[in-house]
A and B are shown apart, each in its own frame.
Chain A
Amino acid sequence: MIIDRRLNDRNKSASNRQRFIRRYKAQLRRAVTDAVAERSITDMEQGADVGIPVRDISEPQFGMGPGGDRDFVLPGNREYSRGDRLPKPQGGGGKGDGSGQSGDGGGEEDQFTFTLSKEEFMNLFFDDLELPRLARTTLGESEHFRYKRGGYTPNGAPMNLSIPRSLRNALARRIALGAPLRRELEQLKASGGSQDEIEALEDRLNNLPFLDDYDLRFRNRYRVAEPVSKAVMFCLMDVSASMTEQKKDLAKRFYILLYLFLTRKYRSVELVFIRHTENAEEVNEQDFFHDPKTGGTVVLSALKMMEEIALSRYDSSDWNIYAAQVSDGDAFGADVEKSRAFLADHLLPLCQYFAYVEVPDRSDVATPLGAAYSAISDERFAMSEIFDRSEVYPALRDLFHKEAA
């Protein structure tokens, strides 16, 4: 008996794979964290090669250890004769062991490496951020769909019926089915056939249905995923000495999440990185996160630069402007008040959304910048403090709720 099983479910092992991932979540999370640190914001959404130490996932069994007396038989003797003596191989004799069981142990690696799919990777990343389910689905799959015309199908809803196509089909059918009848009729008439036969043929010709079921053609529509339009995301960060790597890592996660959110919503998202100490500069992502810089802090410089770039390159009639500023909240003197005023009066009118994220050292003291910003009341402006990864998402919660709806 021969059975074709090719159409059966191809992913029988998927559930076991999930169980494996579930069991080693802690290790995998660590691997994902490393991957996030290395990756650019824009290519977050890929799978990743991750490794788990082999000893963590081994399945122990009773077996024989090295030592004791053993004999083994090997094939391929070329040079030895009885009584020859040779040194013991190092490491318990993996090579010399002829027994079937341990024979394949030779090339073991210390790391069990495998590839996480994009979904698995993103899920672990979201788990790390303690992303709630609603936001997960928004980020996970939500794309805006649009129906696009694409050809014709033989069945569909009446409202999609294409009358010209259907009639054209009907006409073709009538010509094709009627041709032999007409030919016969002509022959009969030319040869003066009997009236009955001629009438019968004419009847058959007239009885060809004008429109038949299989003439019908419907306009076909299919769904295409379509982000709405384009956006630019300004990443502003204070990179003065007080911003540690750990704080930058939090900042990066915040940016990633915002970026993911925007890519779901807009067809294309551009990124602008502006870092500042006492003066601001536009840099690439690598320098933004990793290039150390020392100096004082003048927040206003970055805000001004953002306005400049926005006005010159991103016309707000074409672009949706989002901005996220991350700082540890340190600012001095008049800069604080000037920044607040500039943000409220000049920048916010340009923006869809401006997030200020503070990564302070202590939670009990208000920082100068935080204190000043908290005076801004504008629904496009949001601010929050982050101490820990799990707080990254709540900082964006309002945005998700408002815009995902």
Chain B
Amino acid sequence: MNTASPVKIAPLSRGGEWTFDLLEAYDDAIADIAHNEFGLDTFPNQIEVIASEQMLDAYAYTGLPICYPHWSYGKQFIQHSESYRRGQQGLAYEIVINSNPCIAYLMEDNTMPMQGLVIAHACYGHNSFFKGNYLFRQWTTPDGIVDYMVFARNYILECEERYGITAVEDIIDACHALMHHGVDRYHHPSPLSSDEERARLLAREEHNWKRYDEIWTTVPDADDKSTDIQQHSGRFPKEPQENLLYFIEKHSPVLEDWQREIVRIVRKVAQYFYPQGLTKVMNEGWATFWHYTLLNRLYDKGLVDDGFMFEVLQSHTNVVTQLPYNHRAYSGINPYALGFAMMRDLRRICEKPDDEDRHWFPDIAGGNWLEVMDFAMRNFKDESFIAQYLSPKLIREFHLFAIADRADDDMLSVSEIHNEQGYREVRRLLSRQYNRDTNVPDIQIVNYNYRRDRSLELEYRQHRNRPLNKEAKEVMKHLARLWGFTVTLNTVDDSGKVKETLSVEAPKY
């Protein structure tokens, strides 16, 4: 044992046991490094220690501490707990919630090194990403989300009491089917506030109540929303609408107020999750990079011992493994692996650039790595991040190659591989793989036949001739339920020609 130098600091702890005092000591030590040495900007942390069953509960809500009741969450819960029980799936070490304060769940079964890893990863990595990234800043309201979900939960419970579980479930089912089409991608949503929501609801209800008059209900209403539609002689909406749920909430001819409110709630939840889907690689990469960096710094300072680092590195290595495409367990590109590699590569390009880096990244090679990474974290999403920063070195390391699948060719062909000639194209294609339009079809509302049969026309603009999946018909039925009249979906190819029409009549009650 080395007891020679008195300067050497004793490690915070040895072995696997953790206590609340130790958690706090580690949190303080990591916070000190994160804030003072690396300048990470974070929300205050709220670390919650939970049991493994509670982790299963938290799973089911997919990253919200509280949510309205719905059978699909029960299904997810059953799925997770069954595969956990059968040993097919371990539990995540942590769940972190984009709220202010930032809530992170730690599992009680974790050892001290694992808790340290999780604190660094979630409470400083993810947390600073939530606070800094432009998408999260624009699309989410961390201050209000927990309160809003409490409001949403109570509201839906109340609706269930008034209108019955089945009626509420029908609406939520239908909304969930359209959830990915409930986001304004280009408008900036107004921030959430549960108090305002409640006040707005009360006002609306009171207004209805004061106005209530049997006789007047038969007279056309002057300030009805539909008037602006009536005045449109031509098409309505004037511009195609991509936010289907918003359009339904505002214009559905059949929904009652409480139903509109539920549509709104689902829309708000969809909006909250929208940035997460667009920043998986960056977010995980950023968090992984920081737990790696912070914990190594902790080790260099002598605050943790070798045993601690062994355990941390073992699980770190598992997390950042990228299996090759032909491996039995391959399931796509691992966002942790790609993200971590890119973040580390950014630092390397800044600190030790070689000629290739100077050629590819002249503006950041040799720069200040903290500034460069901070800029990248704040201003990009996966698609643009990869397009901007994926280096030839990583393309080589990951052995990336691009496959072209063409409808008029019954073979696949390798279009580019990781060589000088292919770098740019591989990078472009990989970046496009993270474009939302590659996975979520571009479906928009083009016409509302207000004066005729009140039917709704939608258009699917095909991207490279890709057809819709088979579920589309089921989704259209849900849409018809919300709309109350016939809904039609035209599939339009690149040249603007209608290729296919899918029409669903509203269910009869």
Residues of A within 8 A of B (CB): 1-6, 8, 10-13, 15-23, 57-78, 80-88, 93, 95-104, 106, 112-115
Contact = CB atoms under 8 A, between A and B. Distances in A.
A82 B325 contact: no
Contacts of A58: 471
Given A68-B467, A72-B429, A76-B399, A83 B441 contact: no
Contact of B47 (A1, A20, A93, A106): A1
Contacts of A6: 49-51, 54, 108
A82 B468 contact: no
Contacts of A1: 44-47, 101
B53 A81 contact: no
Contacts of A20: 71-72, 74-75, 78
Contacts of B27: 2
Contacts of B407: 67-69
B402 A71 contact: yes
Interface stretch (B329-337, B359-367, B373-381): B329-337
B181 interface: yes
17 contacts: A13-B77, A15-B69, A19-B71, A19-B165, A20-B71, A61-B177, A61-B471, A64-B469, A71-B404, A73-B433, A84-B413, A86-B411, A87-B411, A88-B411, A95-B330, A98-B333, A102-B439
Contact of B181 (A59, A62, A65, A86): A62
Nearest to B20: A2
A88 B404 CA distance: 10
B24 A99 contact: no
Nearest to B82: A114
B180 A88 contact: no
Given A75-B400, A96-B412, A100-B335, A60 B20 contact: no
Nearest to B477: A60
Nearest to A73: B430
B417 A77 contact: yes
B472 to A, nearest CB: 6
B169 A60 contact: no
Query: Which 7 A-B pairs give the minimum distances between C-beta atoms?
Result: A76-B324, A103-B332, A68-B466, A20-B74, A16-B74, A60-B474, A60-B471
Contact of A62 (B72, B411, B414, B472): B472
B127 to A, nearest CB: 13
> Which one of B44, B181, B412, B464 has the greatest number of beta carbons of chain A within 10 Å?
B412
Contacts of A57: 75
Interface string B63-82: 00000011111110111001
Interface of B, helix, strand, loop or mixed by DSSP: mixed
Interface in B328-350: 330-333, 335
A75 B77 contact: no
Contact of B57 (A10, A78, A101): A10
Contact of B73 (A10, A16, A75, A97): A16
Contact of B441 (A4, A64, A97): A64
Given A16-B70, A19-B74, A64-B441, A72 B403 contact: yes
A61 B400 contact: no
Given A64-B438, A73-B433, A96-B403, 15 more contacts: A2-B20, A5-B49, A6-B50, A16-B70, A20-B74, A62-B441, A63-B440, A64-B439, A67-B466, A70-B464, A71-B432, A75-B324, A77-B400, A82-B417, A114-B79
A83 B422 CA distance: 12
Nearest to B119: A2
A367 to B, nearest CB: 44
Given A2-B49, A72-B405, A101-B439, A63 B469 contact: yes
Contact of A84 (B280, B414, B475): B414
Given A16-B69, A19-B74, A61-B180, A2 B401 contact: no
A3 B429 CA distance: 45
Contact of B54 (A8, A63, A86, A112): A8
Contacts of A98: 325, 332-333, 433
Given A19-B71, A86-B412, A62 B440 contact: yes
B439 A87 contact: no
Contacts of B300: none
Contacts of A2: 20, 23-24, 27, 47-49
B266 interface: no
Contacts of B23: 2
Contacts of B335: 100
A104 B439 contact: no
A93, A106, A114: most-surrounded residue (chain B CB, <10 A): A114
B324 A62 contact: no
B368 interface: no
Contacts of A19: 69-71, 74, 165, 169
Contact of B466 (A64, A102, A103): A64
A85 B78 contact: no
Contact of B405 (A5, A60, A62, A71): A71
Given A61-B471, A65-B469, A104-B332, A76 B414 contact: no
Contacts of A4: 20, 48-49
Contact of B475 (A8, A60, A99): A60
Contacts of B82: 113-115
A51 to B, nearest CB: 11
B426 interface: yes
Interface string B26-50: 0100000000000000001111111
Contact of A65 (B169, B323, B470): B470
A390 B302 CA distance: 73
Contacts of A93: 405
A65 B71 CA distance: 27
A103 B475 CA distance: 22
Given A23-B71, A114-B78, A76 B326 contact: yes
Nearest to A23: B71
Nearest to B80: A13
B481 interface: no
A13 B56 contact: yes
Contact of B439 (A63, A81, A82, A88): A63
A10 to B, nearest CB: 5
A2 B101 CA distance: 12
Nearest to A76: B324
Contacts of A67: 407, 465-467
Contacts of A69: 404-407, 464-466
Contacts of B332: 97-100, 103-104
A77 B399 contact: yes
Nearest to A105: B331
Given A62-B468, A69-B406, A84-B414, A3 B433 contact: no
A369 to B, nearest CB: 46
A93 B332 CA distance: 13
A190 to B, nearest CB: 51
Nearest to B404: A71
Contacts of B467: 64-68
B54 A5 contact: yes
Contacts of B193: none
Contacts of A85: 411-414
A86 to B, nearest CB: 5
Contacts of B327: 76
A48 B73 CA distance: 21
A95 B400 CA distance: 16
Contacts of A104: 331-332
B93 interface: no
B146 interface: no
A10 B75 contact: no
B176 interface: yes
Contacts of B326: 76
Nearest to B408: A69
A65 B467 CA distance: 5
B462 interface: yes
Contacts of B176: 59
Contact of B53 (A10, A16, A100): A10
B145 interface: no
Contacts of A97: 332
